């Protein structure tokens, strides 16, 4: 579904080249739930941004439907982000002056009556239907994040990218959000997520660990039952690196 070829990213720091991603090759299949871990500053978010069109890599290709999205410009990138990709961030980025319903609906490709109907349906599915007329400052952190998930799903994205979406939430709320993401994935939604938490990572179906610019660990977790066994396996894989 999403094929990454020889992806490299480097920055210039005081006239010196600082490599972050070192020629990554990776394929993400439809319906996967991929978790990305690594030390702080290892390039996890940089990788996510590069494959989701939010940042431009130094070299490489990101192939979606036989097209290298890295050559897209202007409208092509805009359409890609609206039609194919959904985004969830640590900060929910809700607009304070809009209601929860409006915050969800505004991301719809066609902002019309159907956008509101779709937003209401998603809000109900995510357990915030009763908060549709509230403003962001009137709801909890977990409820805001549910709204941001609904907003990310409003255009039926092929891939949902999540960058530390539970990092600012308390443990119980974080697990509630993960159960929602798990249910979405069980229904067929492809998810690629960055996290620093072993507990959160154990909700995924594949674990990648970024070390020195490449994925030192790339292992399926599906052979380990969700819960203690999968968490134990994640802990074993993470131990040498984090």
Averaged over 214-222, what is the pLDDT? 96
User: Residue 16 has what pLDDT?
Assistant: 87
Assess contact for 190 and 31: CB atoms under 8 A.
yes
Q: Exposed/middle/buried for 48, CB within 10 Å: 0-12, 13-18, 19+?
A: buried
Q: Using the predicted structure, report yes or no on whether residue 203 has a pLDDT greater than 80.
A: yes
Q: How far apart are the first and last CA of the chain?
A: 30
Q: What dotted CATH number matches 1-84+157-165+189-242? A: 3.40.50.300
Residue 49: strand, helix, or coil: helix
Identify the CA nearest to 67 among candidates 7, 3, 8, 21.
3
Q: Domain ranges in the chain? A: 1-84+157-165+189-242, 85-156
Assess contact for 85 and 157: CB atoms under 8 A.
yes
Instruction: Give DSSP secondary structure letters for 115-155.
Output: HHHHHHHHHHHTT-GGGTTS-GGGS-HHHHHHHHHHHHHTT
For residue range 90-144, what is the model confidence (pLDDT) as tens digits?
A: 898 999 999 999 999 988 867 677 889 999 999 999 999 999 999 999 999 999 9
Task: Give the integer Cα–Cα distance in Å for 82 and 86.
Answer: 7
Assess contact for 81 and 89: CB atoms under 8 A.
no
Task: Give the integer Cα–Cα distance in Å for 40 and 105.
Answer: 34
Averaged over 209-234, what is the pLDDT? 95
User: Residue 111 has what pLDDT?
Assistant: 65
What is the distance, to the nearest Å, from the Cα of residue 174 to the centroid of all Cα atoms in its chain?
Answer: 15
Q: What percent of the chain has pLDDT over 90?
A: 81
Q: Using the predicted structure, report yes or no on whether residue 162 has a pLDDT greater than 90.
A: yes
């Amino acid at each position: 579904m999403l094929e990454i070829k020889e992806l490299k990213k480097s920055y210039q720091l005081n006239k010196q080249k600082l490599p972050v991603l070192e020629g990554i090759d990776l394929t993400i299949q439809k319906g996967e739930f991929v978790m990305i871990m690594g030390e702080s500053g290892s390039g996890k978010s940089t990788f996510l941004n590069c494959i989701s069109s939010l940042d431009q890599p130094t070299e490489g290709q990101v192939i979606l439907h036989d097209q290298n999205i890295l050559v897209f410009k202007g409208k092509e990138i805009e359409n890609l982000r609206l039609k194919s990709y959904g985004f969830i961030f640590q900060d929910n980025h809700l607009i304070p002056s809009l209601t929860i319903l409006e915050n969800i609906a505004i991301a719809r490709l066609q902002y019309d009556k159907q956008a509101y109907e779709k937003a209401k349906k998603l809000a109900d599915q995510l357990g915030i239907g009763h908060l549709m007329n509230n403003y962001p400052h009137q709801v909890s952190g977990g409820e805001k994040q549910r709204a941001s998930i609904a907003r990310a799903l409003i255009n039926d994205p092929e891939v949902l990218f999540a960058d530390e979406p539970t990092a600012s939430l308390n443990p119980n709320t974080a697990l509630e959000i993960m159960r929602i993401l798990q249910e979405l994935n069980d229904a067929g939604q492809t998810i690629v997520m960055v996290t620093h938490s072993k507990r959160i990572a154990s909700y995924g179906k594949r674990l990648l660990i970024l070390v020195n610019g490449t994925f030192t660990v790339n292992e399926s977790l599906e052979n380990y039952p969700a819960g203690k066994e999968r968490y134990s396996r994640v802990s074993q894989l993470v131990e040498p690196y984090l």
